[in-house]
Structure 1
């Protein structure tokens, strides 16, 4: 029987990949849009390209949102933002899903293990933990996908590999194991989870596990130029710097990814607190996982 999946946040980078992954299965895919701004035209393009249906409802309109979810089997959230999105909008989406009789909900987690981090060390993880408490109390079956950091960020968005300076940064230890998974691999896993009624509360996957030392070795091999490790301080010092940056930020907590938030992500990774401990890469059979080396090699070739 065809499964009906509604994707919220489908016009975003990861959300679009999830839609494409779902379309490789026997699914009917609905894309939720608020019907305003650029998201409407983006949803229209996605509908034309992928053959999905577009439904319109504002997150503040519970009745319209509930109607939009009528007949949906699984809600997959891929929304991105700060508190107004991760907590408030997802709570509205969850309430509508419950009232519409949706069986399952996949929240917008797609991160490292936010459940074990020290309070105050990672804002975005704490928002996910706050929403998870609401989700766990709701009468709906939920599954979170945890995948470490996105490998794609190593090509520039996350300043770990300094390509022009032939350096790889690290905090505390160059041998701390770091979890990475590409967005496409996360999207593929999310599609499997959406179609798996027996999926547990959390599914952990990791495309590759590396250290800063290993990344430096890989870059040296790929480029033929020695990439050296550069110690940038301890994770504790970086956490203190992030706290100062957060207090001094003009935008406060309204900015989605300020510099201090990037620092917090590195704290969570290099402290080891957010490491995944129950990885189940084989849950959906043999899969081709993209490695850190694959991503870096493709970036250099481009």
Structure 2
């Protein structure tokens, strides 16, 4: 039986990957786009299995019409409060009004449920919206995957490639959860098809420590990578608050201080995944942190093929 899936945020990086994986199954996809945007049409207009529907998040009637008749809504929107809370609340209300059976929120992160108040803005926004989800008469499944492993090659300044150092806060042996965007997209597509999916599905493509990452980098490059103590998570949290106070980009989704807050959540252990269920959808060859780093180094000419692909 064909599953009808509406994807909100389908033009973003992760959203496109999720749509790609959904197309490998028996699905009919609706891509929700805002009025006046031509991006969705450019990406998906030629695919006869994808319908493009238009509605503003501020237009309840249009939004309800857009989601009516679908089996599940997959939200992949990204941003701050106007998106993660306000837009998703509107999408949730439309889903309930239209009688859509299931909703997958735009979480795709570490476990935001146990973080200390005031330590991570983006996680707190997700937790705030989660309260709405839990109170709504609709079945909800969140996918928690740790951090995106893809960020280790540049966006997340944990590995100082040029200085051959791996940064850590508080403990070099704290477990860190990482999953590639492609692996996350695969699981989200399977969750969308799984009417029996639980409230939360936790996955981790790899579970590493700063110490093991330094060892991996040493092996891949043939030169020693040393651990660099960068302070405690408490100190980093205070620094993030100070930088945020004087930042001119407080409404940006990922300013520098937000990156600091992510490291606080991860290295403090508060956001560590506790119930990883990688086998829920059968055996799968997950992409490891080593795999991600090997491909990156090979592309940069920093590791020989014989070493990088071991």
TM-score > 0.5 by shorter chain = yes
SS at match of 1:4: strand
Q: Which residue of 1 aligns with 2:219?
A: 221
User: Are the counterparts in 2 of residues 103 and 141 from structure 1 also a CA contact under 8 Å?
Assistant: yes
CA distance in 2, matches of 1:290, 1:272: 22
Q: Which residue of 2 aligns with 1:282?
A: 279
Q: Which residue of 2 aligns with 1:248?
A: 246
- In the TM superposition, what are the counterparts of 1:109-128 in structure 2 within 5 Å? 109-128=107-126
Query: So what's the TM-score if we normalise by structure 2?
Result: 0.95
Which piece of structure 1 moves more, 128-137 or 242-251? Answer: 242-251
CA distance in 2, matches of 1:84, 1:288: 37
- In the TM superposition, what are the counterparts of 1:97-246 in structure 2 within 5 Å? 97-246=95-244
User: Are the counterparts in 2 of residues 150 and 180 from structure 1 also a CA contact under 8 Å?
Assistant: yes
Note if 1:271 corresponds to 2:268: yes
Q: Which residue of 2 aligns with 1:72?
A: 70
Structure 2 unmatched ranges of 5 or more: 300-310
CA distance in 1, matches of 2:45, 2:176: 36
CA distance in 2, matches of 1:43, 1:262: 33
> How far off is 1:35 after superposition?
2.6
**1:259-289 deviation per Cα after TM superposition (whole angstroms, max 9, x unaligned):** 0000000000000000011111000111120
User: Are the counterparts in 2 of residues 58 and 64 from structure 1 also a CA contact under 8 Å?
Assistant: yes
CA distance in 2, matches of 1:192, 1:23: 11
Q: Which residue of 2 aligns with 1:262?
A: 259
Q: Which residue of 1 aligns with 2:6?
A: 6
Note if 1:297 corresponds to 2:297: no
CA distance in 2, matches of 1:250, 1:153: 24
User: Are the counterparts in 2 of residues 122 and 261 from structure 1 also a CA contact under 8 Å?
Assistant: yes
Which piece of structure 1 moves more, 41-50 or 175-184? Answer: 41-50
User: Are the counterparts in 1 of residues 6 and 72 from structure 2 also a CA contact under 8 Å?
Assistant: yes
CA distance in 1, matches of 2:16, 2:186: 11
SS at match of 1:250: coil
User: Are the counterparts in 2 of residues 33 and 43 from structure 1 also a CA contact under 8 Å?
Assistant: no
Q: Which residue of 2 aligns with 1:17?
A: 17
> How far off is 1:301 after superposition?
1.1
**1:53-111 deviation per Cα after TM superposition (whole angstroms, max 9, x unaligned):** 11111100000010011111100000000000000000000000111110000000000
CA distance in 1, matches of 2:262, 2:219: 27
User: Are the counterparts in 2 of residues 10 and 43 from structure 1 also a CA contact under 8 Å?
Assistant: no
Q: RMSD value over aligned CA atoms?
A: 1.0
- In the TM superposition, what are the counterparts of 1:38-117 in structure 2 within 5 Å? 40-48=38-46, 51-117=49-115
User: Are the counterparts in 2 of residues 11 and 43 from structure 1 also a CA contact under 8 Å?
Assistant: no
Structure 1 unmatched ranges of 5 or more: none
Aligned positions, number: 299
Query: So what's the TM-score if we normalise by structure 1?
Result: 0.97
CA distance in 2, matches of 1:150, 1:118: 22
